[in-house]
Chains A and B, each alone.
Chain A
Amino acid sequence: MTKSEEYDDIPGTIVFDADRSRQGYHLNMFCISLREQKNRDAFTADASAYLDKYPMTPEQRQAVLDQEWNLMLELGGNIYYTSKLAAYHGINFQELAGIMTGMGSTDYRAMMLAGGRSIEGNRNKKEWEDK
């Protein structure tokens, strides 16, 4: 999508840089609008009409409707924004992490209680490919 950056080698991580911010602008502005109750109500009343106000790409719009959380990040979303859409769906930060990591809430929470995900084996993409 953009010129390759050193941080693109970090596995399972989408760094929200200026290029992604540009691509995700309308997606993120849609998500943050859900901070307000009146907007949440409008989205509930007519999702399609509400989404029409934000000129996202068809792919972004579908990711929103399908609640594809990782895909939203890959299409320029940022977690502080997409978490507002998650909250709209009653999903908190830790549950969202459970979904994005594919672990599920119970296993994710247990991992955090046991000290979190270790840095060992999680520094670069090569380490993940070797797994």
Chain B
Amino acid sequence: MAWISSGVGCSHVPALGVAVDKEITQDDYYGPIFKGFEYSKKWMEKEKPDVVFLVYNDHCTAFDASCIPTFALGCAAEYQPADEGWGPRPVPVVKGNQRLSSHIAQSLILDEFDMTIMNEMEVDHGLTVPLSMMFGTPDEWPCQVIPLAVNVVQYPAPTGNRCYNLGKAIRRAIDSYDEDLKVCIFGTGGMSHQLQHERAGLINPDFDAKFLDYIANDPVTGSQMTHIEYLREAGSEGIELVMWYVMRGALNDDVTEKHRFYHVPASNTAVGHIILENHAEGKA
């Protein structure tokens, strides 16, 4: 049977992708950020998931204003890195797992989560930056990826509670899959940031620290946080953080926190990162 072994929370700041692509990850500005992910790359080499289930948001790339699905599940054989206006990122094509995607789509819909099914979809920095942060710059991504795009651009994003419960349904879907596959789930976006209007540049480290504590230790309480609190305290774009609750919902109630990292700034944004394992330490 398939099983979820671990979860990763990770910002997907586009500037980090630019830093990787321009090979400036060791400079004074980006060096401290990529140092925070050195452990993560080593951890990932040992973790070796067969599949990464990656929760992210599209930034008006695959979806423009004409179509805004709240939850869009990738069911394609592969996903091309998109041209966001300055050429596609020079990263490998993202390979999917169509049979598993179809199973998850069917299971979620029967579980009363009304998913949009994407049989073709380009993926933007929201998906490719976390892959770069966790896997570096391989010629091929070392595992298959199933994307789940969540609307967080047009208010309202789904609630933290809904995301958390969707995570639980994804867990049920993966647990009921007939093939032996090890799955790592990513929740991406955030942390606190605001890109727009006169309050742009907002960063709230206290909020972010509290958020990471909730994610690790008390997701049921954390998932009840209201949209107004995200918007006010974490900035208008900080609401991306609800996507981490999809990841968290798919894990056990109790998890082992293997790694946590936080840094300000990357461009306009606070960078946050956490690695959670489903099993107790020492057990395979």
Give A residues with C-beta under 8 Å from B: 6-7, 10-18, 21, 24-25, 28-29, 32, 34-36, 70, 73, 78-81, 83-84, 87, 93-94, 97, 100-102, 108, 111-113, 115-119, 122-124
A91, B161: Cα distance in complex, Å = 37
Known: A13-B236, A15-B236. A122 touches B199 (CB 8 A): yes
Contacting residues, chain A, for B228 (C-beta < 8 A): 6-7
**A7 near B154: Cβ-Cβ < 8 Å:** no
Can you list 11 A-B contacts (CB < 8 A)? A10-B232, A13-B199, A14-B196, A21-B65, A35-B83, A36-B83, A78-B65, A83-B195, A93-B267, A116-B270, A122-B202
Contact A100/B200 with A16-B155, A112-B268 known, Cβ cut-off 8 Å: yes
8 interchain residue pairs of minimum CB distance? A116-B203, A12-B198, A12-B199, A79-B196, A97-B200, A17-B155, A117-B201, A112-B265
Contact B153 A16 (CB under 8 A): yes
Bound complex: CA of A116 vs CA of B231, how far in Å? 16
Which residues from A are CB-within-8-Å of B199?
Answer: 10-13, 101, 117, 122
Contacts of B138 in A (CB 8 A): none
Interface of B toward A, CB cutoff 8 Å: 14-15, 59-61, 64-66, 68, 83-86, 153-156, 194-207, 227-228, 231-233, 236-237, 264-265, 267-268, 270
What's the nearest-Cβ distance from chain B to residue A28, in Å? 5
Q: How far is the CB of B194 from chain A (nearest CB, A)?
A: 7
Cross-chain contact of B64 among A29, A94, A100 (Cβ < 8 A): A29
Task: State the main secondary structure of chain B at its contact with A.
Answer: loop
- In the complex, A84→B124 CA distance in Å? 14
Name the residue of chain A whose CB is nearest to the CB of B61. A35
- Please, how many angstroms separate the alpha-carbon atoms of A113 and B266 in the complex? 9
Residue of A nearest to B226 (CB): A6
A112 to B268, CA, bound (A): 7
Task: Please state if A115 and B203 are interface contacts (CB–CB under 8 Å).
Answer: yes
Given A10-B231, A13-B236, A101-B198, residue A94 in contact with residue B268 (CB < 8 A)? yes
CB atoms of B195 and A97 under 8 A apart: yes
Assess the B85–A84 pair: CB atoms within 8 A.
yes
- Chain B neighbourhood of A118, CB < 8 A: 203
